[in-house]
C-alpha cells in the first residue's frame, strides 16, 4: 500500500477565509479524508463545457482523492442571454453527471449576480479556490489547488503526474504546467490556427526573453495551467479579483516564495478560440488577429532583451555603489532604459534597498521585489514605444532561440514554435 505524505497545516487555516474570503463556503458534502487535489473551473457563458469535464473525468486516477469545482458565474450587469446560457450549462452538467460514470465528485458553485466592480474571471477563480481552501481545512490537509478552464482539455496522466510532482518536491509552493494549444484541425478556420501559432510563439518568446536576461521569474502564467498548495495560496492572500491578467498577478506572488517549479510530464491543451470575455489574453489576441488585415504578427524587438540582460549583469555592482559608476549607465544606447529608471524613482528606491540589505543575497532579493515581473513588462513596453518598435515575430523569436542556443534552422513560425516547446520541456526548473 502506497502512503502519501503531504504537509499538514497545524495553524488554523480559517484565518485566511475570515480575512480574505469573498463568501462563506457553500458545499455541504463532507470531503473524503483521502482528498489531496481540487480542480477549479471558472465557467461563464460557456456553450460546450462537456469535453473539458470528460477530459478530467477520464484522466488516470491518482492514489489520493480528487474533486472538481465548477464555478458558474455572471455579474449583476450581464445580459439575460448570458444568464440563460449559464442556466443551460448547469442543466447540461447535471444531465452529463446523471448519464456518466463519475470517477471524481463534480460540484457546481453558483456565483450569480456578482458585483459590477469585480465580476469576472479573477473573482470566479477566487470563489472556487477559496472553496477549495475550506474543503482542505475540514480535513486538515495542505492539498493542491489546480486552475483549469471550461474550454481546455488535458492529457490522461494529468492528475497522476501532478500528484507525483508535489510528493517529490514537498518544498515547492506551486508550479506552472506544460501547455500546448492545438495548431491544426477542423474545429476552427485556418486563420485561427495561424493566429494561435503566432500567439503561443509570442508567449514562449517572452518567457525565453526573461530566461535570457537571467531574471528569476521566467515562468509561464497561463490560467488553465496553474497549480498551488493551499498553504501558499493562503499565505499570499489568495486569488485576486482582476477581470483579466489574474493568472499573471497571482502566480508571481507564488513565484516570489521561492522553489516554484514547472511540471512538464503532463500537458494542458487550452482552446485557441476567439473570445470577448476578457480585455486581453488568448481569446482577445485571436479575436484581434481575426480582425486584422495584416499577414504577419509583430512583437517586441529582441534587442530589448539584450539591454535587460546587460542591466541584470550590473546588479551585483549596484550593491557596491551607484548606477552612475557602472558601464551600463555610461553607454549611450541605454539612454531610454536609464530614463525609465528615473521615471520610476530608481535611485531613491535603490538607496532604500541598500539600507535594508545586510548582504548581497538580501540585496538581490529586495532588488527583484522592486524589479518585478510587472515592472519588467512596463519597461519592455516603454522601450518598445521610445526606442525599438515592434518587429515581425519570426525573426525576433529566431534571434532569441539563437541567443539561448536552441535554434535549428526552422523554416517557419509553426516549426519554430514546436522547437520552442521542445526546448522548454527539456530545460525546465
**For residue 59, what are the contacts with CB-CB under 8 A and spacing of at least 6?**
103, 154, 155, 156, 157, 158, 159, 160
* Domains held by the chain: number: 2
Higher pLDDT residue, 31 or 243?
31
On the question of pLDDT at 186 being above 90, the answer is: no
pLDDT at position 10 over 50: no
Question: Which residue among 251, 266, 281 closes a domain?
Answer: 266
- Read out DSSP for 232-253? HHHHTT-----SSSHHHHHHHH
Answer yes or no: is pLDDT of 396 > 90: yes
* Claim to verify: residue 144 and residue 252 sit in the same structural domain: yes
Q: Is 121 within 8 Å of 42 (Cβ atoms)?
A: yes
429 pLDDT more than 60: no
Instruction: Give the pLDDT of residue 14.
Output: 78
Q: Which of 170-174, 398-402, 425-429 has the lowest mean pLDDT?
A: 425-429
User: For residue 134, what are the contacts with CB-CB under 8 A and spacing of at least 6?
Assistant: 14, 17, 21, 25, 27
Looking at per-residue confidence, does 314 or 4 come out higher?
A: 314
Residues 262, 304: one domain? Answer: no
Q: Of 86-90, 163-167, 192-196, 287-291, where does mean pLDDT reach its minimum?
A: 287-291
* pLDDT (tens digit per residue) in 36-89: 999 999 999 999 999 999 999 999 999 999 999 999 999 999 999 999 999 999
For the stretch 110-133, pLDDT in tens is 999 999 999 999 999 999 999 999
Question: Which residues, 6 or more positions from 287, have their beta carbon under 8 angstroms from its beta carbon?
Answer: 274, 275, 276
Is residue 240 located within the same domain as residue 357? no
Whether 255 maps to a domain, the answer reads yes
Cell numbers for 83: 444568464
Looking at the fold, whether 97 and 245 belong to one and the same domain comes out as: yes
Judgement on whether residues 92 and 236 belong to the same structural domain of the protein: yes
Q: What CATH number corresponds to the domain at position 140?
A: 3.90.550.10
Report H helices in 58-189.
Answer: 80-99, 121-138, 158-168
Range with lowest mean pLDDT among 114-118, 155-159, 255-259, 324-328: 324-328
In this prediction, residue 175 has a pLDDT band, given cuts at 50, 70 and 90, of very high
Q: Indicate whether 114 and 259 sit together in one domain.
A: yes
Give the pLDDT score at 189: 80
Number of H helices, E strands in the chain: 18, 10
Q: Does residue 285 lie in a domain region?
A: no
Same domain, 57 and 172: yes
Domain coverage including residue 71: 14-21+31-177+217-266
On whether both 126 and 77 belong to a single domain, the answer is yes
Question: Who has greater pLDDT, 343 or 320?
Answer: 343
Read off the pLDDT band of 241 (50, 70, 90): very high
Amino acid at each position: 500500500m502506497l502512503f502519501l505524505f503531504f504537509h499538514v497545516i497545524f495553524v488554523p487555516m480559517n484565518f485566511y477565509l475570515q480575512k480574505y474570503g469573498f463568501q462563506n463556503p457553500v458545499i455541504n458534502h463532507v470531503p473524503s479524508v483521502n482528498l489531496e487535489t481540487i480542480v477549479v473551473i471558472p465557467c461563464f457563458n460557456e456553450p460546450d463545457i462537456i469535453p473539458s469535464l470528460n477530459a478530467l473525468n477520464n484522466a488516470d486516477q491518482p492514489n489520493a482523492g480528487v474533486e472538481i469545482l465548477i464555478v458558474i458565474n455572471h455579474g449583476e450587469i450581464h445580459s439575460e442571454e448570458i444568464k440563460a446560457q449559464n442556466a443551460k450549462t448547469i442543466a447540461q452538467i447535471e444531465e452529463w453527471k446523471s448519464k456518466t460514470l463519475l470517477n471524481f465528485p463534480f460540484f457546481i458553485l453558483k456565483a450569480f449576480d456578482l458585483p459590477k466592480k469585480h465580476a469576472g474571471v479573477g473573482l470566479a477563480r477566487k470563489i472556487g479556490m477559496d472553496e477549495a481552501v475550506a474543503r482542505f481545512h475540514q480535513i486538515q490537509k495542505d492539498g493542491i489547488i489546480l486552475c483549469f478552464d471550461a474550454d481546455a482539455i488535458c492529457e490522461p496522466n494529468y492528475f497522476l503526474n501532478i500528484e507525483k510532482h508535489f510528493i517529490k518536491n514537498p518544498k515547492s509552493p506551486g508550479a506552472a504546467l506544460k501547455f500546448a494549444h492545438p495548431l491544426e484541425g477542423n474545429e476552427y478556420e485556418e486563420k485561427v490556427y495561424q493566429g494561435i501559432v503566432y500567439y503561443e510563439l509570442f508567449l514562449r518568446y517572452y518567457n525565453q526573453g526573461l530566461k535570457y536576461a537571467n531574471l528569476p521569474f521566467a515562468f509561464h502564467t497561463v490560467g488553465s495551467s496553474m497549480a498551488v498548495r493551499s498553504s501558499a495560496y493562503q499565505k499570499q492572500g489568495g486569488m485576486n479579483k482582476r477581470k483579466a491578467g489574474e493568472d499573471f498577478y497571482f502566480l508571481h506572488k507564488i513565484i516570489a516564495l521561492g522553489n516554484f517549479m514547472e511540471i512538464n510530464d503532463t500537458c494542458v491543451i487550452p482552446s485557441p478560440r476567439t473570445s470577448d470575455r476578457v480585455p486581453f489574453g488568448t481569446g482577445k489576441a485571436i479575436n484581434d488577429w481575426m480582425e486584422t488585415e495584416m499577414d504577419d504578427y509583430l512583437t517586441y524587438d529582441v534587442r530589448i532583451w539584450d539591454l535587460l540582460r546587460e542591466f541584470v549583469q550590473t546588479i551585483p555592482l549596484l550593491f557596491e555603489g551607484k548606477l552612475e559608476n557602472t558601464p551600463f549607465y555610461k553607454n549611450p544606447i541605454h539612454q531610454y532604459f536609464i530614463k525609465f529608471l528615473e521615471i520610476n524613482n530608481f535611485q531613491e528606491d535603490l538607496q532604500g534597498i541598500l539600507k535594508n540589505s545586510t548582504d548581497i543575497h538580501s540585496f538581490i532579493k529586495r532588488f527583484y521585489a522592486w524589479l518585478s515581473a510587472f515592472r519588467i513588462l512596463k519597461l519592455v513596453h516603454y522601450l518598445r514605444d521610445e526606442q525599438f518598435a515592434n518587429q515581425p515575430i519570426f525573426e525576433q523569436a529566431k534571434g532569441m532561440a539563437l541567443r539561448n542556443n536552441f535554434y535549428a534552422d526552422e523554416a517557419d513560425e509553426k516549426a519554430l514554435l514546436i522547437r520552442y516547446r521542445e526546448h522548454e520541456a527539456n530545460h525546465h526548473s
